[in-house]
Amino acid sequence: MKKAEVFIDGKKSVDLPILTDTMENQALDIRALRQQTGLITYDPGFGNTGSCQSQICYLDGEKGILRYRGYAIEDLVEHCDFIEVAYLLIHGYLPNKKERERYSQLLNRHSLLHADMQSFFRRYPENSHPMSILAAMVVSLSAFYQIDLEEDPELQIDLTVTRLMSKLRTIAAFSYRKMKGFDFVNPSHTYSYCANFLNMMFSSPVVPYEPNPIHVKAMNKLLILHADHEQNCSTTAVRLVGSSEANLYAAISAGICALWGPRHGGANQAVIDMLEQIHNSGENLSKVIERAKDKNDPFRLMGFGHRVYKTYDPRAMIAKKTCEEVLSAMGTSDPLLDIAEELEGVALEDDYFKEKNLYPNVDFYTGIIFRAMGIPTNMYTVMFALGRLPGWIAHWLEWHHDPFERIGRPRQLYMGPAVRVVPPINERE
Ligand code: ACO
């Protein structure tokens, strides 16, 4: 095994092993560093920290490669539906025909929500953000569908995984119906996973509704694009909460909360808000780019930049193509797509964006597809969560079976006061 020698003040202190992964990337194993030298590593934002060994997702940010369990994202989007990809992420292999059918039946069987849970929804204010409902309802599943510790633990985990996969879709659709003040529509065994979701969202007692196959196909593609992305913020949240041995529902709820922020999954909503604002104000695109570059202006070009991708995000490439295909198949257009494409062109020609390798990320074009499907802006991050769920589950399961699993607990550099004595209250300023 290769080793790195660490010298402190010119004196050799420790040999650290160098680990190599499947793709020949190398990592310094620093586990013995503190014990042998007293030093910790400092890496705010974990930009250079490998927190686990994983077999789920591979991405190369320099080359723009993304693979789930070894399969290229382009291949999966072209040849699989979301449920097959979810199965792949969770079980490690693509299902055969029989397994695929059995999985659909299982998801169908677990898709209903406990009637008392439905009454929960009714108490939320009309203007609640659906992500707050989603996070709260998912953690509430642990009260309604308790994990029986007397039973075979692996069977219990299987059941929890299936319930989550199926019920998150129902919860997501119900959170929309609540927002609109509509009655809930229960899942139906006659529909596929995505068609079922669209039916629960848009079915109406007064206007006939049948899920549009163009929307069903687009939704499958979008969910696949979002299904996993290795150790991102929300997945890390799921692993971290899971590492305390909190239950799977609690860990997934934490992932949903982490996803909500505009720097992460909330960016798809922020992109549409930004494009609408440009459209309504008629603001010159060069001015928008100037604002994004101005360090005194908090504005950033939403849907641009990525911690890992230093080239075009492969998911953004597929989303852009899908967006054009969906609008063309529907025989419609969207001025926001024209603005987005023009904005991308201006940004990619700009020296600031070139030097910092800022390219469109997955969120730049996906909102325009959701818009074409009639999904409201504040549901976009919910759609992202639906897609990311199998990835979160796969990472929780991987952590659960990892022989090296320990509670996640980083260290810090303490920069506060050294020691202070509490003064009596009347002597305090
Ligand atoms: N617009 C303008 N400048 C940007 C942008 C942007 N969208 N993104 C990064 N930069 C600049 C930063 O200001 C920084 O400049 P500096 O070096 O002069 O200080 C430099 O590029 C590096 O950016 P960081 O913020 O340090 O990069 P980090 O890896 O920490 O953040 C992030 C990545 C959060 C995605 C960032 O690019 C961003 O905020 N983008 C906009 C929000 C967005 O689209 N988020 C979705 C990401 S994809 C996902 O989570 C699904």
- pLDDT tens across the length of the chain (429 residues): 899 999 999 999 999 999 999 999 999 999 999 999 999 999 999 999 999 999 999 999 999 999 999 999 999 999 999 999 999 999 999 999 999 999 999 999 999 999 999 888 888 998 899 999 999 999 999 999 987 767 788 888 899 999 999 999 999 999 999 989 999 999 999 999 999 999 999 999 999 999 999 999 999 999 999 999 999 999 999 999 999 999 999 999 999 999 999 999 999 999 999 999 999 999 999 999 999 999 999 999 999 999 999 999 999 999 999 999 999 999 999 999 999 999 999 999 999 999 999 999 999 999 999 999 999 999 999 999 999 999 999 999 999 999 888 999 999 999 999 999 999 999 999
Task: Decide whether any atom of ligand 1 lies within 6 Å of the 303 Cβ.
Answer: yes
Known active-site residue 79: no
CA distance 231 to 308: 10
Closest ligand 1 atom to residue 313 Cα is 48
d(CA 159, CA 149): 13
CA angle 377, 379, 381 (to 5 degrees): 100
Report the C-alpha gap between 338 and 315 in whole angstroms. Answer: 19
Query: Between the CA atoms of 317, 88, 134 and 250, what dihedral angle is there, to the nearest 10 degrees?
Result: -130
Residue 3's DSSP bridge partners are 17
Rounded Cα distance between 232 and 230, Å, is: 6
pTM here?
A: 0.95
Amino acid, single-letter form, for residue 176: Y
Distances in Å between the Cα of 239 and the Cα atoms of 13, 33, 233, 388 are: 32, 23, 10, 14
CA–CA distance, 390 with 87 (Å, rounded to integer): 8
363 is catalytic: yes
Per the listing, tokens 């190369």 go with 60
* 341, 344, 349, 353 alpha-carbon torsion, rounded to 10°: 180
* Closest residue CA from atom 21 of ligand 1: 356
Catalytic residue among 306, 313, 334, 395: 306
- Given the residues 81, 334, 350, 363, select the one marked as catalytic: 363
**Which residues, 6+ apart, have CB-to-CB distance to 129 below 8 Å?**
260, 378
| C-alpha to C-alpha distance for 260 and 248, rounded to whole angstroms | 19
